[in-house]
């Protein structure tokens, strides 16, 4: 079972002798892509765990540009039909190329199991400390072992 409102989108890659092309996001009249507030780039060292992170108000998309991640997403929204549900998957170069997005109240975390990973975050608003939700990766509140 998936988490309500979590989007995991497989991306098509078109390859030839020159390299490849991959469309990451396309805007449409009703698309979250039309509400981009900020695009950020993060480099993550091997073995690093970044968890748990969410937003009070923003929607976030995450795309692994280079490297491989073990990702976990948990629904901590009070009135959600999938409250406390955890979804785990891998994304990056050695697994399916995908982008995943989640609304406010859902938390995500990941562990880099490759050399340095390069990650792109696309949020519906600009950075605001008052929007940030964080829980330590080793919390007892979320039943997940990294």
CATH number for the domain that contains residue 42: 2.60.120.10
In a domain, 71, yes or no: yes
39-59: average pLDDT: 97
pLDDT of 1 above 90: no
Residue 2 inside a domain? The answer is no
Count the domains in the chain.
Answer: 1
Phi and psi, residue 35, nearest 5°: -120, 45
What mean pLDDT do residues 19-30 have? 81
Residues 125 and 50: beta-carbon distance below 8 Å: no
Residue 1, in any domain of the structure: no
Q: b/e string for 105-126 if b means 16 or more Cβ within 10 A?
A: bbbbbbbbbbeebebbebbbee
User: Where does the pLDDT of residue 94 fall: very low under 50, low under 70, confident under 90, or very high at 90 and above?
Assistant: confident
Mean pLDDT of all residues in the chain? 93
Q: How far apart are the first and last CA of the chain?
A: 21
Cα-based angle 106, 47, 86 (whole degrees, multiple of 5): 25
Q: With respect to residue 139, please indicate whether it lies within any of the assigned structural domains.
A: no
Residues spanned by the domain of 52: 7-134
Of all residues in the chain, the percent with pLDDT exceeding 90 is: 86
Cα-based angle 114, 119, 121 (whole degrees, multiple of 5): 155
Write down the pLDDT at residue 31: 64
Q: Is this prediction's pTM over 0.85? A: yes
Q: Residue range 53-78: average pLDDT?
A: 97
State yes or no: pLDDT of 26 exceeds 90: no
Does residue 140 belong to any structural domain of this protein?
no
Give strand pairing partners of 75.
Answer: 106
């Amino acid at each position: 079972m998936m988490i309500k409102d979590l989007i995991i989108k497989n991306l098509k890659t078109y390859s030839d002798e020159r390299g490849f092309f991959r469309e990451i996001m396309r805007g449409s009249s009703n698309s979250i892509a039309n509400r981009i507030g900020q695009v950020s780039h993060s480099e993550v060292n091997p073995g690093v765990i970044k968890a748990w992170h969410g937003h009070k108000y923003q929607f976030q998309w995450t795309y692994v540009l280079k490297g491989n991640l073990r990702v976990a997403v948990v629904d901590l929204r009070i009135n959600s039909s999938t409250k406390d549900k955890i979804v785990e998957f891998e994304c990056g170069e050695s697994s399916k190329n995908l982008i995943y997005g989640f609304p406010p109240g859902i938390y995500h975390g990941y562990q880099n199991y490759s050399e340095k990973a390069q990650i792109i975050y696309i949020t519906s608003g600009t950075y605001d400390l008052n929007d940030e939700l964080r829980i330590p990766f080793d919390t007892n509140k979320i039943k997940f072992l990294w």
